Amino acid sequence: MVNSFLRTVWAITKKDLKIWQRNRASAMATILPPLAFLLVQALGAAAVGRSPVALVVQDRGVEGAKIAAAIRSADVFRLHEVEAPQAAALLRDLQVVAIITVPPDFTTRVATHVQAPVTVQVNNLNLDFTNDIRRAVPTAITEFYQAQGAASPIQVTIQEHDLRQRDVEFFQFSVLPTLVLLLTISGVLTTGLAAAREWETRTIKELLLAPVPAGAVIAGKVLAGFVVSFALGLLVLALGAALNWIRPVGIYWGTAVFVIALVALFSAGLGVALGALLQRIQPVIGVSITTSLYLYFLAGGTAVLAFEPEWLQHIAAFVPLTYGDHALQMAVFYSSADQLGRDTAVLALSALVTIGAGIIAMRRGIARA
């Protein structure tokens, strides 16, 4: 009895996997939205990561060289070291957002202990860029004074204590929510289409007449969606590690894989429910992608959830993908199991709920067929 059930499950799974493999439109609909979001995040990170700035050093003395070195080492600018006319042209053509000028008498002023201004001309076309410059220039000047040690007229000591051992760039941080989005779309779309196709092609009647239990049919469809989603998740995780975007360490590889499996299972169950309810391929495609995107945004996928508006944080607490994002971030970036029990419990329970909803929807659809 058990062997027959398992053979039926595997037969349904294999059939749905072959159909998915041949249906290139379905595969593209699964992969393109996450790739588009990843590209947008990459372009956004490149645009706001380090502001393009023109540096004009008119002073040829020792102190002028020191302040220029401090600005270079601040690691917050993409510097273009040019003369004043070139800098003006770059600012006019919107190729830089600011011009930092070290005046020709800077060394003399520092040596005689009089005010030695560094001029900053900012194009305040975008407040985000403007504020970056406003914060970064004082930081560079502070490092200039610190580098002089006891000889500095202003004694400055900078001590940085990082909460976490690893610095994560903006683009790297955005990769994991995009991975979760890929898992969701692939699972929901694969199982949703597999279920809806049975009604649209009238093959649901063949399944009804076949001497197989309905539970085996449902399990086979969930398993097919899980396999596709899980395989894509592992592929992206491996690719991210190869490109040094995301790389778990040690046992946290296992944690990341386990969380990916739970998200894949959740999305597969949700897909079966949608497919059985809608019973048409076109509506399933639209609703699956739209639902996945809403879940992605409501889980704070575009930024750091803790810094999002409070109303969004309250909503995100009821979105299962929130816990998948958090568990992956802790495992991949910080080698931490912080709140892993809570995250996996919510994901597992959510997966059971969506699979249960899928079973109920399939059974009702079969009963009406």
Q: How far apart are CA 253 and CA 346, in angstroms?
A: 20
Query: According to the model, what pLDDT value does residue 194 have?
Result: 85
Residues sharing a CB contact under 8 Å with residue 280, sequence separation 6 or more, in sequence order: 196, 199, 200
Task: Confirm if 148 and 92 have CB atoms less than 8 A apart.
Answer: no
Percent of the chain with pLDDT strictly greater than 90 = 25
Q: How far apart are CA 367 and CA 140, in angstroms?
A: 71
Residue 327 has pLDDT above 90, yes or no: yes
Confidence of residue 82 (pLDDT cuts 50, 70, 90): very high
Range with top average pLDDT, 127-131, 151-155, 364-368 = 127-131
Report pLDDT digits (tens) over 35-45: 777 787 777 66
Residues in the chain: 369
What superfamily would CATH give domain 51-151?
Answer: abc type-2 transporter like domain (3.40.1710.10)
Phi-psi region at 212: left, alpha or beta (left = phi > 0; alpha = psi -120 to 50): beta
Query: According to the model, what pLDDT value does residue 315 have?
Result: 93
179: closest CA among 31, 346, 330?
31
Report pLDDT digits (tens) over 212-224: 676 777 788 888 8
Tokens 């398993």 map to which residue?
A: 223
3-state secondary structure the chain: CHHHHHHHHHHHHHHHHHHHHHCHHHHHHHHHHHHHHHHHHHHHHHHHCCEEEEEEECCCCHHHHHHHHHHHHCCCEEEEECCHHHHHHHHHCCCCCEEEEECCCHHHHHHCCCCCCCEEEECCCCHHHHHHHHHHHHHHHHHHHHHCHHHCCCCCCCCCCCCCCCCCCHHHHHHHHHHHHHHHHHHHHHHHHHHHHHHHCCCHHHHHHCCCCHHHHHHHHHHHHHHHHHHHHHHHHHHHHHCCCCCCCCCHHHHHHHHHHHHHHHHHHHHHHHHHHHCCHHHHHHHHHHHHHHHHHHCCCCCCHHHCCHHHHHHHCCCHHHHHHHHHHHHHHHCCCCCHHHHHHHHHHHHHHHHHHHHHHHHHHHHHC
Mean pLDDT across the chain:
84
Confidence of residue 47 (pLDDT cuts 50, 70, 90): low
Residues of the chain within CATH 3.40.1710.10 domain(s) are 51-151
Residue 326 has pLDDT above 90, yes or no: yes
Tokens 């490109």 map to which residue?
A: 243
The values of phi and psi at residue 101, to 5°, are: -120, 125
Residues sharing a CB contact under 8 Å with residue 90, sequence separation 6 or more, in sequence order: 54, 80, 82, 96, 99
Residue 161 has pLDDT above 80, yes or no: no
Mean pLDDT of 343-368: 85
Query: According to the model, what pLDDT value does residue 130 have?
Result: 79
Confidence of residue 367 (pLDDT cuts 50, 70, 90): low
Report pLDDT digits (tens) over 221-246: 888 889 989 998 998 899 888 888 88
